[in-house]
Structure formats: C-alpha cells, structure tokens
Amino acid sequence: MLKKKNAPASMDTVIGEYTTIIGNVDSEGSLKILGKVEGDIKAGGDIYIESTSSITGNIYGSNVYVSGKIKGNIIAKGILHLQAQARLYGDIEVTSIVTDEGAIFQGNCKMIDLPEEEAAATSTGKTRSRLKIKREEPADESAE
C-alpha cells in the first residue's frame, strides 16, 4: 500500500469534513482540517489543510500543508506547501515555500530566518511548545 507523501506519522487533532468551528483553534500538537474554520488556527506542530476545507482566519504553525481554501495570513516556522488544489488569499511569512502547479496564491511573501537550533527542531517535527510570534518594527533610519 502506498503512503501519502505528506501524511503525518500521528495526528493529535482532526476537524472533520462536516464540522464547522467558529472561533480560534489552539493546539500544542498537529492538526488536520477537513471542515470549515472561521477563526485563527495556532499549532505547535504541523497543520494539514485538506481539499475539503475552508478557512477564514490566520494560521500559525511549524509546517503548513494546504490543499483547501484559505482567506487569511499564514506564518510557518518551516515549510509552507501549497498543493495543486490550494487557494490562498493572504500574506505569508515562511522559511521555505513549495508551490505545486495549479495552486493559487494572492498576497505578499516574506521569507524569514530562524535561529539554527529552532530550525532543526522544526524540520524534525519535534516542536511541541506554544508558538511565540514576534513582530519587529522596521528600523527608523532618520534617527541618525
């Protein structure tokens, strides 16, 4: 039997195809979403947005794999993979992006760097802590 390329070894939370969540979702582990979410999604692990899903809100995760429709921004500490069926309308901040032929992305992309030890933990999927998002203001060059 063939295994799906991006299939997770284990999944902490699955939101079913016929489920609608209105409000924010916060998980320390991995998420697989087949249904509809109207709110922000934060996960310490990987996030899988399947082709049957529709998200209206921002997404924060380690690695984010998208096949569904998203209206919102994504911050991924690792890889953002937009698969062929993906429809993403929003801005992204990622360390790496993969876009399959057929995917739609309308927005801005900011490439970010992670400290070396954090990048290693993200790539092995062993990040279990809550995400801490820090936004930096641009340096004021006129102060000199």
| pLDDT, tens only, 31-51 | 999 999 999 999 999 999 999
For 20-24, 62-66, 89-93, 129-133, which range has the lowest pLDDT when averaged over its residues?
Answer: 129-133
pTM of the model: 0.73
* The total number of structural domains that make up the chain: 1
Does some domain include residue 31?
yes
Give the N- to C-terminal CA distance of the chain in Å, as an integer: 64
Does some domain include residue 81?
yes
Does some domain include residue 7?
no
CA distance 88 to 139: 30
Domain residue limits at 44: 13-120
Does some domain include residue 34?
yes
Beta bridge partners of 80: 64, 97
DSSP code for 4: P
Question: What pLDDT, on the 0 to 100 scale, is given for residue 53?
Answer: 97
Express as a percent the part of the chain with pLDDT over 90: 67
